[in-house]
Amino acid sequence: MRHAPLAAFLAVAALSGACSASPPATCGQPGQWLNPADTSAPLAADALLERLAGQQVVLLGEAHDSAEDHRWQLHMLAQLHSRRPNLAIGFEMFPRRMQPVLDDWVAGKLPERELLKKSEWDKVWTFDARDYLPLFHFARMNRIPMLALNVERGLPEAVGKEGWDAVPEARKEGVTRPAAPSAEYLKDLRMVFDHHPSRERGEAAFPFFVEAQTAWDRAFAQSIAGHLTRNPDTLVVGILGAGHVRHGRGVAHQLADFAIRRVSGLITWDQGISCGHIAKGIADAVYVVREPAGPAPRLGVATESAKSGHLKITEVTAGSVADKAGLKSGDIIVDIAGQRSTGLQMLRNFVQRQTPGTWLPLKIRRGGDELEIIARFPAEG
């Protein structure tokens, strides 16, 4: 279930511990574990993993579009499973109604394409399935239960518009009232809200915005807690967006309300970002990664949501792929690669999948006309 506010939150929170001195240009070495309280020396991996294996819950915070984060998650699952075979893996990517689909997948009853089709992957999640499939295959290979942690997108959207109390119980999918967020989490969410304020409702929307975000945290925590109630000897590993994991203010905070306190949160850290930006307490440990060399594909547009639900281009970067394709400010993106456009994340996903020298067909609305545009991504060299 996509949610732009938490995507913004990741970028804001990642730099929340910036210091005033001029820190080194890089941070550690790929493959090292660092203690956020003292990044001067790497942590011993074996000791850390042994401690993690003794927890009730381990939360692996990701950037959804980072292939390196998903490779790290697979590595962690293998390491934890070797120490704690009684494992379950909870996924933010699947709403609860998909649990029978996940059960059939783990049992070996579905081929890969049917898993993606029946779980409505391209509609519900849309991030590149190729990054997640190794995790799913690991679960099936080892017959590890996969847990659908999420709720339908309509629930947090309704809470964000109307408030928790105004949403009928029948729509809440059994999710109970979230524990009140900490003062620190409120500050985090305030930064996000101020960065992307509601244009229609202004300041009056902030309490509902908070309730919507904590409802997501609560849903994930409640699904994990329910599995632990039925299977108390299990270690649950959560595959979640990093915004739900950082500082223990999201899902871990809600888990504590269910009396589940042996919880560890882990995130990755890009070696290219100074260690001086790692805030104390941001996670129990951070794992240093380095994304593969080579620039990510860029279309070169700024966008905003249109009333139709599509994307309106508000700016085109001079000399960009978009500029050379003939896209203009004011164009409405209707279709992407033959599929009806559903918003920014869909566009971002398609662009990120482009390899050098490939073409991306777009249908745009310009005034009263619909035009076919081909965005050509340059070949390497």
pLDDT at 88: 98
Per DSSP bridges, beta strands 235-241 and 57-62 are: parallel
- Residue 3's pLDDT band, with cuts at 50, 70 and 90, is very low
Q: What gap in Å lies between CA 247 and CA 245, rounded to an integer?
A: 6
Q: What gap in Å lies between CA 210 and CA 212, rounded to an integer?
A: 5
Examine the fold and report which residue of 289, 323, 346 is the final residue of a domain before the chain moves on.
289
Is 294 within the bounds of a domain?
Answer: no
pLDDT at 294: 64
pLDDT at 295: 64
Q: Are residues 333 and 263 in the same domain?
A: no
CATH of the domain at 350: 2.30.42.10
Q: Are residues 137 and 111 in the same domain?
A: yes
Q: Are residues 252 and 321 in the same domain?
A: no
Answer whether residue 199 shows pLDDT above 90. Answer: no
Q: Are residues 109 and 11 in the same domain?
A: yes
The boundaries of the domain holding residue 305 are 301-376
Local structure of residue 358 (DSSP, 8 states): -
Is 87 within the bounds of a domain?
Answer: yes
Q: Are residues 344 and 220 in the same domain?
A: no
Q: Are residues 109 and 256 in the same domain?
A: yes
Is 295 within the bounds of a domain?
Answer: no
Average pLDDT, the chain: 89
Q: Are residues 283 and 309 in the same domain?
A: no
Q: Are residues 168 and 230 in the same domain?
A: yes
CATH of the domain at 45: 3.40.50.11550
- Residue 135's pLDDT band, with cuts at 50, 70 and 90, is very high
User: What predicted TM-score, i.e. pTM, was given to this entire model?
Assistant: 0.80
Nearest alpha carbon to residue 212 among 161, 160, 172: 160
Q: Quick one: tokens of 93?
A: 């990517």
Dump pLDDT digits (tens) for 284-331.
999 999 977 666 788 988 888 877 778 899 888 888 999 999 999 999
pLDDT, mean of residues 62-88: 96
Q: Are residues 134 and 20 in the same domain?
A: yes
Examine the fold and report which residue of 226, 255, 289 is the final residue of a domain before the chain moves on.
289
**Helix, strand, coil % (nearest 5) of the chain?**
40, 20, 35
Q: What gap in Å lies between CA 35 and CA 51, rounded to an integer?
A: 14
Q: Quick one: tokens of 172?
A: 């809440």
Q: Are residues 179 and 249 in the same domain?
A: yes
pLDDT at 310: 84
Q: Are residues 245 and 107 in the same domain?
A: yes
Answer whether residue 43 shows pLDDT above 90. Answer: yes
Q: Are residues 280 and 309 in the same domain?
A: no
Query: What is the number of domains present in the chain?
Result: 2
Q: Is 326 exposed, middle or buried, given 0-12, 13-18 or 19+ CB atoms closer than 10 A?
A: middle
